[in-house]
A and B are shown apart, each in its own frame.
Chain A
Amino acid sequence: MKHFTRLVRPYIVWMVLIVVLPLLLIVLYSFTTGGNELVNIRFTLDNFKKIGEPIYFDVFKKSMLLGIVSVLICLVFGYTLAYMITKYSEKAQNFLILLVTIPMWINTLLRTYAWISILSDNGLLNRLLVLLGLEPATMMYTDAAVMLGLVSDMLPFMVIPIHTSIRKIDKSLIEASHDLGAGNFQTFWQVIFKMSIPGVINGVMMTFLLSISTFVIPKLLGGGQYMLIGNLIETQFISVGNWNFGSAISILLTLLIVIGISLMKKFDREEKEENG
């Protein structure tokens, strides 16, 4: 069956050119100064030192915190939704999952604009509050607004892998658990949840990635004062024009994510090893 090994060759070439090379270029930029002209480059570590400054450090901290909180919110609500969906018949499940998927097809920007219409000072929600005789509230440009936008964007990415993994669980395992004396609650924690961990990890990784690197949602819903890593990178490349510093932040962000994901994978593996 040696015939088929050759099939990977085109992709190797492609990968080197369009995946590896750009990353190397970013690394190169991050260790140099001299702006966008490659002619007068000079190696330096200043770009990384600069990240250590308190404001930038705070941006990283805030991004991480927001990422983790929004992932946790997604996990709680997404898991509940995914689990409840599995309680329906196969046909109904397919339909419900389809409904979860459709919003993913609709432009994130458009959905975010829609949230602006809903949350803004004279938006839908405030009109509703006024109609009910309540005080209107400022909802735009708050942490809550950004969180809402993020969660609504990321939730499907959490629901789908979890649902798939719960659905795949052999029904006889659940019966076996009941048979061995575990009630519904115990069966959920001892069997269903444990069996769905791969899905949870998948979902957490997807949403963590999305939340940590986003820049459009915080910009639109959080207002100008909302500065996350994604915004910082975008500003460096687009408005400030300091590609070297921007590259350094990108490299650091990539490292953060690689570490985060490796930790999660390790956790997944340990979970398995611990239990057998």
Chain B
Amino acid sequence: MKTKKARIASAVYITLCFLFFYLPIAVTMFYSFNKSKSLTNFTGFSLTWYARLIEDGSIMKAVYVSITIAFFATILSTVLGTITAIGLSRCRKVLKDVILNVNNLPIMNPDIVTAIGLMILFSSIMFEKGYLTMLLSHIAFCTPYVITSVYPKVRNLDPNVAEAALDLGATPFQALTKVLLPMLKDGIFAGMLLAFTMSFDDFVISYFVTGNGVQNISIIVYNMTKRTNPTINALSTIVILVIALTLILINVTPAIVKNAMKYVTAGLVFIIVFVSVFTGMQGAQKTLRVYNAGEYVDPAMLEAFEQEYDCRVVYETFDSNESMYTKVKSGAEFDILIPSDYMIERLIQENMLQPLDWSLLTNADGLDPAIMGFAYDPDNTYSAPYFVGTVGILYDRTVVSEEDLKDGWELLRNEKYKGNLYMYDSERDSFMVALKALGYSMNTSDKEEIRQAYEWLLDQRDTMEVVYAGDDVIDNMISGNKALAVVYSGDAAYIMSENPDMGYLEPAEGTNEWCDGMVITDACNDTELAHQFINYMLSYDVAYANSAYVGYTSPILAVTEELAGTDFEGINSYAPDFGYGKNEVFRYQETEIKQYFADLWTKVKAY
């Protein structure tokens, strides 16, 4: 009945749809073989990122967490969901309706609300966050899906079936396992599959309820936003292939898979038991829990530390100081945190840190005096610098004239460069730019000054067609897409080493001098090991490796001088001008001012 034309049209449409589905996946796979770190510029084939993946302990651990959580959550929620569904069909109507409606809540509620509810729950009952909280949460959001896929099947069952089984002498338990379950097989399987997908792919809920170094793949990926790198593409390529193969096998040859399933399950259980015994044995060792920003350390250094001090480092990453704060505040325990200046000040004010014993930090001699004693921690009682830098304007020398550079921050309002600049998507950095341009302190609490800065940003937004970009600025500037961008000095160093056309300007009005520091929390018991870690990071060799790997400026003067002459030769942003009189460090803001900034920033962005 269908004409040939219609058939061709539908084939074309289906193909286009699948192209749309699979293009991103194909791109992900494609860049996993990229030689360079870029996710937009393919420079040549290599398997580097696969090698890096295998070496990277934290990613492998995340894979383990994702798989085991999904596995246990699937099994437990399937059992719970199935028995509940069977029980439901025999309940009184009122009870049934209540349960079904409540059961719908986690499905209907946005993930973020469920996540927040669970986070608040765990922190208010002081439940230590980690693997168990993540598992419980996954069971919580998977079970409703199992119930919704099993319950309709239960309702469609002939009610006499269970009775027939009992009549033939089966106990209720036998009736359940020998008769009802086999008849519900399809529904249960569908529920299981759904639960596994949901659990394996979950980000939002896991993100809010985890702690203590337990991270799944999604969290690792999210924290990499700071600096994406193709290891994650390599990982997803493997995940995609495994999933596609499994699903195709299940659908093409169900019989084989049925048998294989047993072995896979047995194997998985074995691995899980093995790994937990193994990690349990490791538990006897000293452990150090470190919380740092994503992509902010050379992982080889962590392994070397573990070897040297015969301990285990539980290393977890965050995507912003604020999320770090929220995590710690809501019960996640760490020994060492590596936050930024103003956040350190806040932690000090809230008595969340222990003072450092500088006598144990023998490598402290190498620290650059210019970056010590900043206002957030005037005597460095609590913090030892980890990386330092400034914020400045990255400009394309081939586009931006020398003359215009004299404008300083006002360069960002020069209409010559309309539509040709990136602002950094960060509330504090954007207001810093505006306040400095207006000649105010970036730590002002004068609402009038802040309001003027807000007007400045609004004006800039409307006249300049600003894009508030995240870390893709790095890739985009390497390719010279826009002429101007507000960037951190460390990122500028990396960009300039890739694209020699770029220059880095620290405006004369002054800028943000920032310093990320290592601090010891009041939850830390093994302060000796914590000091050993800090001292280790301050040693010349480690600081050198770290700085070369990450690209940010080391606080160790000798390292900076050495790298400025070798790897980062001619790149002024690697050795920024510390101590310039008009520069400031961020200070912690009072809640009221903070909220004021936040509201204005929302207004700037939400138009």
Report whether A12 and B116 are in contact in the complex, using a CB–CB cutoff of 8 Å: no
Tell me which of B24, B99, B163 contacts A12 (CB under 8 A).
B99
| Cα of A156 to Cα of B25 in the assembled complex, Å | 15
Check A224–B121 contact: CB distance below 8 A. no
Determine the residue in chain A with the shortest Cβ distance to B117. A22
Which residues of chain A from 192 to 218 have a CB within 8 Å of any chain B CB?
209, 212-213, 215-216
Q: Does any Cβ of A come within 8 Å of B278's Cβ?
A: no
Q: Is B236 an interface residue (CB 8 A)?
A: yes
Question: In this assembly, does B17 line the interface, its C-beta being within 8 Å of a C-beta of chain A?
Answer: yes
Residues of A in contact, count (CB < 8 Å): 105
* Chain B interface main SS type: helix
- With A4-B87, A15-B99 in contact, is A243–B120 under 8 Å at CB? yes
Taking a contact as CB atoms under 8 Å apart, the answer to whether B602 and A227 are in contact is yes
Q: Quick one: which of A56, A152, A216, A253 contacts B20, CB cutoff 8 A?
A: A152
A90 to B270, CA, bound (A): 38
The A-B contact count (CB < 8 A) is: 299
Q: Which of chain B's residues 217-276 have a Cβ closer than 8 Å to chain A?
A: 217-218, 221-222, 225, 228, 232-233, 236, 239-240, 243-244, 247-248, 251
Instruction: Assess whether A220 is in contact with B236, with CB atoms less than 8 Å apart.
Output: no
Tell me which residues from 142 to 163 in chain B have a Cβ below 8 Å from any Cβ of chain A. Answer: 143, 159, 162-163
B140 to A106, Cβ gap below 8 A?
no
Whether A99 contacts B80 in the complex (CB less than 8 A), given A4-B90, A15-B103, comes out as no
In the complex, identify which listed stretch (B291-299, B386-394, B467-475, B537-545) lies at the interface while the others stay far away: B467-475
The number of residues on chain B lying at the interface, defined by a beta carbon within 8 Å of a beta carbon of chain A, is 114
Please tell me if B201 contacts chain A, counting CB pairs below 8 Å. yes
Q: Is A104's CB under 8 angstroms from B113's CB?
A: no
Residues of A1-51 contacting chain B, CB below 8 A: 1-12, 14-15, 18-23, 25-26, 29, 35-36, 38
Separation in Å of the A112 CB from the closest CB of chain B?
Answer: 8
Contacts of B411 in A (CB 8 A): none
Q: Mark B417-442, 1 if CB is under 8 A from A, else 0.
A: 00000010111000000000000000
Q: Are B108 and A114 in contact (CB under 8 A)?
A: no
Please indicate the chain B residues that have their CB under 8 angstroms from the CB of A120 in the complex: 40, 472, 475-476
Would you mind naming 19 contact pairs between A and B with Cβ atoms under 8 Å apart? A1-B159, A10-B83, A11-B84, A18-B137, A19-B106, A19-B140, A23-B117, A84-B14, A103-B22, A107-B218, A109-B203, A116-B39, A122-B475, A140-B467, A152-B24, A225-B466, A238-B326, A239-B427, A241-B326
Q: Can you name 15 extra interface pairs (CB under 8 A) apart from A103-B25, A120-B476, A225-B461?
A: A4-B90, A4-B172, A8-B99, A9-B87, A18-B137, A22-B114, A55-B602, A100-B21, A107-B218, A113-B28, A117-B31, A122-B40, A224-B605, A238-B323, A250-B116
Interface pairs A-B: 8 shortest CB-CB:
A224-B425, A22-B117, A213-B110, A7-B87, A114-B24, A224-B468, A8-B87, A239-B322
